[in-house]
């Protein structure tokens, strides 16, 4: 029993070939189908064909390779490449015309190394020369050109172009900086004869037409003020002087621009120019967004240099 087991474990002397089909001579080459074709052409048995043992003998195949030769002949007969004639094989007319060509290996192209662009420049599209990108600094003699924006125009290959443009002016609320209020003296525009009347608005002298009332002329002056604010784009917190009809109390002629209108209040004038302006700012909620330091100095300087009264009487609002 031990001898039978030993003999059963013995391996067969036939060496196993790999599943990958190779030529008879060894190494990668033409398939079995094309090798059989060359054998049939070499034997020159055109009428009857060549027998299977003759083909195997000419190829010098080992027993392990017989199955590949049989399979190649069987498939060739099915496709019409070989013609079977009583156990012999010969080539068809189409098979004689075809020739086997060795496949050429494709050469791999080496990738060119692309250098990185300096100064935050970009390549648009890839492979082109370096061009200014969105973060490339603007080297321009004009100081206002400080940032780049995507332009509508493009390069010849359809790449992006970034041009230097003017820097945006951020609003006071977004940037956190307060807008500086300004002072405007418009009394000569609203009342052209204010200086002739010694620094007093005399409504009765403007009433040339007897049918027009005092209120109509006052409304006309208000329209002039609103037109000046709209035309010159005055902003919230700006202070204007349009004159007063009270002799010696010209502080009543000051008002503050709020939402495109000139706002005034009689109770504020008894506080003094500085307290009065800041009271306006607190009433209309302008303290956080507008800086009033400059306008307070301008109003004080205007009152000190008052030259509308020939007798030298100045508004005493700045003295409070």
The pLDDT of residue 89: 86
Contacts of 126 (CB under 8 A, 6+ apart): 114
If asked whether residues 274 and 220 sit together in one domain, one would say yes
Higher pLDDT, 112 or 75: 75
If asked whether residues 164 and 180 sit together in one domain, one would say no
Q: What pairing do the DSSP bridges indicate for beta strands 239-241 and 183-185?
A: parallel
If asked whether residues 218 and 311 sit together in one domain, one would say yes
If asked whether residues 306 and 218 sit together in one domain, one would say yes
Count of domains forming the chain: 3
If asked whether residues 82 and 37 sit together in one domain, one would say yes
Whether the pLDDT of residue 79 is over 70: the answer is yes
Whether the pLDDT of residue 74 is over 60: the answer is yes
Domain enclosing residue 284, as ranges:
176-319
Q: What is the mean pLDDT of residues 223-239?
A: 89
Alpha-carbon span 289 to 275, nearest angstrom:
18
Has residue 12 been placed in a domain? no
Has residue 263 been placed in a domain? yes
- Which strands sit side by side in the sheet containing 261-263, from one edge to the other? 183-185, 239-241, 254-258, 261-263
Has residue 125 been placed in a domain? yes
Last residue of a domain, one of 137, 153, 169: 169
CATH number (domain holding residue 91): 1.10.10.10
Q: Model confidence at 133, in pLDDT bands (50, 70, 90)? A: confident
The pTM assigned to this predicted structure is 0.44
Has residue 220 been placed in a domain? yes
Q: What is the mean pLDDT of residues 291-305?
A: 86
Has residue 255 been placed in a domain? yes
Higher pLDDT, 4 or 204: 204
- Give the model confidence (pLDDT) of 24-66 as tens digits: 655 566 788 888 888 888 887 667 788 888 888 888 888 888 8
If asked whether residues 185 and 149 sit together in one domain, one would say no
Higher pLDDT, 285 or 317: 285
If asked whether residues 160 and 182 sit together in one domain, one would say no
Whether the pLDDT of residue 20 is over 80: the answer is no
If asked whether residues 181 and 161 sit together in one domain, one would say no
How many beta carbons lie within 10 A of that of residue 280, not counting itself? Answer: 22
If asked whether residues 127 and 36 sit together in one domain, one would say no
């Amino acid at each position: 029993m031990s001898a039978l087991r030993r003999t059963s474990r013995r391996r067969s002397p036939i060496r196993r070939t790999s599943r990958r089909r190779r030529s008879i001579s060894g190494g990668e080459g033409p398939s079995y189908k094309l090798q059989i074709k060359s054998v049939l052409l070499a034997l020159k048995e055109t009428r009857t064909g060549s027998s299977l043992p003759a083909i195997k003998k000419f190829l010098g195949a080992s027993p392990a390779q017989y199955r590949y030769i049989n399979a190649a002949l069987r498939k060739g007969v099915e496709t019409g490449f070989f013609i079977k004639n009583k156990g012999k094989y010969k080539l068809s007319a189409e098979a004689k015309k075809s020739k086997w060509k060795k496949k050429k290996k494709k050469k791999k192209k080496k990738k060119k190394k692309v250098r990185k662009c300096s100064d935050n420049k970009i390549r648009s599209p890839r492979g082109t020369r370096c061009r200014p990108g969105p973060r490339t600094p603007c080297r321009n003699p004009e100081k206002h050109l400080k940032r780049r924006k995507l332009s509508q125009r493009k390069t010849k290959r359809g790449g992006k172009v970034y041009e230097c443009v003017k820097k945006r002016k951020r609003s006071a609320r977004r940037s956190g900086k307060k807008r500086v209020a300004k002072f405007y003296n418009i009394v000569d525009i609203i009342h052209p004869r204010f200086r002739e009347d010694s620094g007093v608005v005399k409504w009765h002298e403007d009433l040339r037409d007897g049918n027009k009332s005092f209120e109509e002329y006052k409304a006309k002056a208000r329209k002039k003020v609103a037109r000046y604010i709209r035309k010159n784009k005055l902003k919230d917190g700006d202070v204007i002087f349009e004159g007063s009809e009270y002799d010696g109390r010209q502080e009543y002629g000051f008002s503050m621009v709020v939402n495109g209108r000139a706002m005034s209040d009689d109770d504020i004038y008894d506080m003094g120019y500085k307290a009065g302006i800041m009271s306006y700012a607190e009433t209309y909620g302008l303290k956080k967004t507008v800086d009033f330091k400059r306008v307070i100095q301008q109003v004080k300087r205007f009152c000190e240099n008052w030259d509308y009264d020939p007798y030298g009487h100045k508004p005493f609002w700045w003295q409070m």
